[in-house]
């Protein structure tokens, strides 16, 4: 587990952003890959290029945003082993868990919603479960709403299914808003970025 320190948000700028998803073309457009979509949008917005890094078990990209270095990773370990890849990169670059932002799909929020938070449980999300196992609970999260199918027995097929055209557009809109607040997140910390994002 990566060591954690109790520090104020403003003292710990985000240095590593992990977008969660599953590898492979058959999963590319599924709801569970919303984290990958966000990572791709960031890379595009700041002219980054992902490359496969075997030692980190993922696709990795380095961005410079307002003079700050930020690493992006899309774990290629499958969702339920995401923490392995993120922890490997964090350890290599000596990035504390509080400086990690994990971006994931969120059943409990409607499509078109993006929310920031720090800490918390996994809520049944396999990617977060593994992330907590490897990083502890102090990392920040970007929760991208995908809506809920209505019954827990339908969740598996729902997250691995494609959203409707309307829902997909709403998710993309939320990702765009979440991308725009990243410079504020890096400069001013989670609290101020949260206030900005949550009033959209």
Domains defined for the chain, CATH in brackets: 11-198 (3.40.50.1470)
Measure the CA–CA gap between 200 and 196, rounded to whole angstroms. 7
Average of per-residue pLDDT values in the chain: 91
Out of 32, 104, 125, 134, the active site residue is 32
pLDDT tops 60 at residue 10: no
User: Which of the pair, 21 or 200, is modelled with greater confidence?
Assistant: 21
| pLDDT surpasses 70 at 5 | no
The residue with greater pLDDT, 126 or 31, is: 31
CB-CB contact of 181 with 196 (8 Å): yes
Q: What is the pLDDT of residues 41-68, one digit of tens each?
A: 999 999 999 999 999 999 999 999 988 9
**What string of DSSP letters covers 38-78?**
HHHHHHHHTT---EEEGGGTEEEEEEEETTEEEEEEEE-S-
User: Catalytic annotation on 122?
Assistant: no
Model confidence pLDDT, tens digit, residues 146-179: 999 999 999 999 999 999 999 999 999 999 999 9
What is the average per-residue pLDDT within 77-105? 96
User: Are the beta carbons of 17 and 72 closer than 8 angstroms?
Assistant: yes
Written as six digits, the tokens of 79 are 């969702």
Rounded Cα–Cα distance for residues 75 and 183 (Å): 23
The pLDDT, as a whole number, for residue 88 is 97
Whether pLDDT at 4 is above 70:
no
pLDDT reported for residue 122: 87
pLDDT of residue 131: 95
């Amino acid at each position: 587990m990566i060591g954690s320190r109790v520090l104020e948000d403003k003292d710990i700028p985000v240095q590593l952003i992990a977008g969660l998803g599953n590898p492979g073309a058959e999963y590319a457009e599924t709801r569970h890959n919303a984290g990958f979509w966000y990572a791709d949008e960031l890379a595009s917005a700041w002219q980054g290029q992902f490359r496969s890094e075997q030692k980190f078990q993922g696709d990795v990209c380095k961005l410079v945003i307002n003079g700050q270095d930020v690493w992006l990773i899309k774990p290629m370990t499958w969702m339920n082993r995401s923490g392995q890849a993120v922890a490997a990169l964090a350890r290599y670059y000596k990035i504390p868990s509080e400086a990690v932002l994990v971006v994931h799909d969120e059943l409990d929020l409607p499509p078109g919603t993006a929310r920031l938070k720090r800490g918390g449980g996994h809520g049944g999300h396999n990617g977060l479960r593994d992330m907590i196992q490897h990083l502890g609970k102090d990392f920040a999260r970007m929760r991208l709403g995908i809506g809920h199918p209505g019954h827990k027995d339908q969740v598996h097929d729902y997250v691995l299914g494609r959203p409707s055209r309307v829902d997909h557009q709403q998710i993309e809109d939320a990702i765009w808003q979440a991308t725009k607040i990243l410079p504020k997140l890096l400069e001013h910390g989670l609290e101020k970025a949260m206030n900005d994002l949550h009033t959209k």
